[in-house]
């Protein structure tokens, strides 16, 4: 049986922290699908399709068992639609843990057949967050050590267009 893992998130934008989780999670399953949430599309910084295209370019450099998709319903429904039996989430700190435990519990209650797996974020980059990357870029700071080069460019473009 093919084991499929789903890594859901906003990825607005994808950071080096997400890439760390992706490069490790793809070894846990036959196929890893990165699921970009399009729920808050109106307030999104980058559109879901743009986030998907940026992620597609990055995962091509990591492994050939990784795909990316956009979803806008429940995570557990996306998992079922894709035939995923694992849900992957990264944990950076205690606040993530509290929030993630609650989500894992709700998801388990709704879909007992889908198992949540937590990966500990690499200690060297466990301070990264997408909103801080956006904030630093908006204030003219250098984000090149937090996100891949093409993503830094897309973030700067987006800020340039808004300004």
User: What whole-number distance in Å separates Cα of residue 96 and Cα of residue 150?
Assistant: 27
User: What whole-number distance in Å separates Cα of residue 64 and Cα of residue 15?
Assistant: 20
Catalytic residue among 52, 92, 134, 158: 92
Among residues 5, 6, 9, 116, the one that binds ligand COA under rule CB under 6 A: 9
Please, what is the Cα angle at 150 between 136 and 87, to 5 degrees? 85
Task: Check if the beta carbon of residue 37 is closer than 8 Å to that of residue 8.
Answer: yes
Task: Check if the beta carbon of residue 84 is closer than 8 Å to that of residue 114.
Answer: yes
**Is 74 near ligand COA (CB under 6 A)?**
yes
Q: Which stretch binds ligand COA (CB under 6 A): 48-56, 61-69, 127-135, 152-160?
A: 127-135
Among residues 48, 90, 111, 155, the one that binds ligand COA under rule CB under 6 A: 90
User: What whole-number distance in Å separates Cα of residue 30 and Cα of residue 52?
Assistant: 21
Among residues 4, 22, 59, 130, the one that binds ligand COA under rule CB under 6 A: 130
Residues touching ligand COA, count (CB under 6 A)? 23
Asked if 156 is an active-site residue, the reply is: no
Alpha carbon 118 to its chain centroid, in Å, reads: 13
Q: Which stretch binds ligand COA (CB under 6 A): 3-11, 46-54, 57-65, 147-155?
A: 3-11
Please, what is the Cα angle at 108 between 102 and 113, to 5 degrees? 160
Among residues 8, 29, 85, 147, the one that binds ligand COA under rule CB under 6 A: 8
φ/ψ of residue 94, rounded to 5: -65, -35
**Is 51 near ligand COA (CB under 6 A)?**
no
User: Residues in the site for ligand COA, rule: CB under 6 A?
Assistant: 8-11, 15, 17-18, 21, 37, 39, 74-75, 90, 92, 103, 106-107, 121, 128-132
Catalytic residues: 18, 42, 92, 130
């Amino acid at each position: 049986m093919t084991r499929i893992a789903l890594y859901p998130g906003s990825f607005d934008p994808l950071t080096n922290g997400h890439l760390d989780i992706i490069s490790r999670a793809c070894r846990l399953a036959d196929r890893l699908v990165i699921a970009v949430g399009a729920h808050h599309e109106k307030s999104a910084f980058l559109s879901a399709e743009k986030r998907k295209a940026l992620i597609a370019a990055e995962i091509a450099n990591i492994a050939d068992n990784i795909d990316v998709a956009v979803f806008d319903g429940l995570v557990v429904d996306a998992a079922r639609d894709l035939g995923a039996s694992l849900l992957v989430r990264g944990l950076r700190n205690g606040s993530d843990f509290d929030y993630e435990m609650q989500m894992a519990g709700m998801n388990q209650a709704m879909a007992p057949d889908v198992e949540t797996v937590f990966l500990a974020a690499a200690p060297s980059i466990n301070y990264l967050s997408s909103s801080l990357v956006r904030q630093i870029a908006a204030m003219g700071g250098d984000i090149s050590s937090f996100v891949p080069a093409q993503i830094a460019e897309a973030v700067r473009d987006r800020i340039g267009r808004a300004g």
